[in-house]
Amino acid sequence: MGLRHHLQEALKINPVPSPWPRMVVCAFATAFPLVIGVLLGQLPLSIFGALVGFLLVLNDHLGTLGHRLWVITLTFLFLLGGLLIGVLTGDQRSLMIPILLAITFWMGLMGGEGAELERAVLFGTFQILAGAYSIAIKKYFAAALAYAFLGYLCVILFLSLLVFLRRHNPNPFARLRTKFKESFKQGKSRYLYAFSYSVSVLITLIIVDYFKIDHGYWAVGTVLIIMRPDAKQSIYRNLQRFFGTLIGVLVAEGLILTIHSPWLAILVLTLISFWGPWALSRSYWLGSAVVVVMLLLILDIPSIEHGDTHTPLLRLQATGLGCLLSLLGVVFANPQFLWRDSPPPRE
C-alpha cells in the first residue's frame, strides 16, 4: 500500500454516534471550577480542578452507573496518588524515576488498548510528571487538591443527575480486577514492548532534564500516549498526534491573541470541552487538536489579557520531541523494521 493510503487511514474521521451526555458533563466539569476560581480570585489554582474534571470524563466508558462512578472515583484516586508521588519525589530523581519506570512498564504490559484501568494509570502518571515539574502545584498543594476534589464532585453529581433524568442503556464493560490480572499474563513480545516503552520514557526524561527543556515533561507524556505494541499503529498515532497538535497550536494562538477577558475565555473553553469527547470518538488527530486547544487556553487563562503565545510553541516543540523519541522506541521494540522490505502486517 502506498503513502497516500496510509495517510488516508491515519487521518480519516470515523462516523460514530456522538456521546452527548459525556459532552455535557465534560463542559460542566471543566467550566465550573474556573468560574469558582474567578469569583474567589484564585483563577490560576482553579485550572487544576478544570483539568481533573476533563480527564475524569475522558475515562467514562458508559457502563452501568455504579461501574462508571467506581471507575471515575478510582481514576480520581490515581490522579491524587500520582500528584502526591510527583510532589514528594520531584526533587529526588533517583527515587522518582524508578517509580515512574515501574508504572510505565506495567502500562506497557497492558498494551495500549485504552481500557479504563490503563487510562486511569496513564492519567496518574501524567500527574506524577506535573507534580515533579510544576513549582506552582508544590507551592499551593492544598488548594490544588481542593479544586481537584471540586472537579471530581462536578463529574459525579452531574453524571448521576443526567443518568436519572434520561434513559440510559449501559454498554458492555470488563471488570477492572479482570484487566488487572490479565496485564501480567502476557507473552514474551509484550514484555519486550513494555521494556522498550520504559526505556523510551527514560531517554526522554534524561534529555528533558539534561537540556532543561521548559515544559519538557509534555514530551514524556507524548511518548506515554502514542507508543503501541503494534508498530503500524504507533506510526499512525505519531502522525495523528503531531498533526493534531499543530492544528491545535495554531487555533490556540489565534484564540489567545484574540481573547482578553477571563469570562470570555471560560465561555470558549466550555464550548471546546463540550466537543472534546465527540472529537476523540471520531478521530485521534481531531481529538488531539481539540484537547491541545483546551489545554493551552486553560494554562494561559491567568495571563489571557497579555496575549502570550509562548506556551503553544512550547507545546509544539515538546510534542515533536516526544514523537521523534517514540518512533525510536518503536524501532527498538520492532528491530525487524530496519531490514524489512514489506509493510508491517495489519492487525
95-135 pLDDT, tens per residue? 999 999 999 999 999 877 668 889 999 999 999 999 999 87
What amino acid occupies position 68? R
Range of lowest pLDDT (35-39, 129-133, 166-170, 255-259): 166-170
Give the CA distances from residue 277 to residues 25, 228, 272, in Å, rounded to whole numbers and listed in that order: 10, 22, 10
- In angstroms, the CA 326 to CA 332 distance is 10
The answer to whether 227 touches 197, Cβ cutoff 8 Å, is yes
Question: For residue 168, is pLDDT > 60?
Answer: yes
Residue 18 backbone dihedrals phi, psi, to 5 degrees: -80, 130
- Return the DSSP state at 230: S
pLDDT for the residue numbered 174: 62
C-alpha cell at 121: 494509570
The answer to whether 284 touches 291, Cβ cutoff 8 Å, is no
- In angstroms, the CA 131 to CA 112 distance is 24
DSSP 178-192: HHHHHTTS--HHHHH
| pLDDT single digits (tens) 49-99 | 999 999 999 998 767 888 899 999 999 999 999 999 999 998 898 999 999
pLDDT for the residue numbered 347: 39
Average pLDDT taken over every residue of the chain: 88
C-alpha cell at 339: 531490514
pLDDT for the residue numbered 320: 93
CA atoms within 13 A on the CB side of 10: 20
- In angstroms, the CA 27 to CA 39 distance is 18
pLDDT tier, 344 (very low <50, low <70, confident <90, very high otherwise): very low
Question: What pTM, to 2 d.p., does this model score?
Answer: 0.90
Q: Which residues contact 242 (CB under 8 A, 6 or more apart)?
A: 319, 320, 323
| pLDDT single digits (tens) 284-335 | 999 999 999 999 999 888 888 776 678 888 889 999 999 998 888 877 776 6
**Residue carrying the nine cell digits 503513502:** 3
pLDDT for the residue numbered 240: 94
DSSP 3-state of 169: coil
- In angstroms, the CA 109 to CA 37 distance is 39
Judge residue 38's burial from the number of C-beta atoms within 10 Å of its C-beta, 0-12 exposed, 13-18 middle, 19 or more buried.
Answer: middle
Give per-residue burial for 46-77: e unless 16+ CB within 10 Å, then b. Answer: bbbbbbbbbbbbbbbbebeeebbbebbebbbe
In the chain, % of residues over pLDDT 90 = 57
**Residue carrying the nine cell digits 508498530:** 231
pLDDT tier, 147 (very low <50, low <70, confident <90, very high otherwise): very high
pLDDT tier, 342 (very low <50, low <70, confident <90, very high otherwise): very low
Question: For residue 204, is pLDDT > 90?
Answer: yes
Judge residue 88's burial from the number of C-beta atoms within 10 Å of its C-beta, 0-12 exposed, 13-18 middle, 19 or more buried.
Answer: middle
Q: Please, where are the H alpha helices in the chain?
A: 3-11, 20-39, 43-58, 65-89, 93-110, 116-133, 135-139, 141-165, 176-182, 188-210, 217-226, 231-258, 262-282, 284-300, 310-333
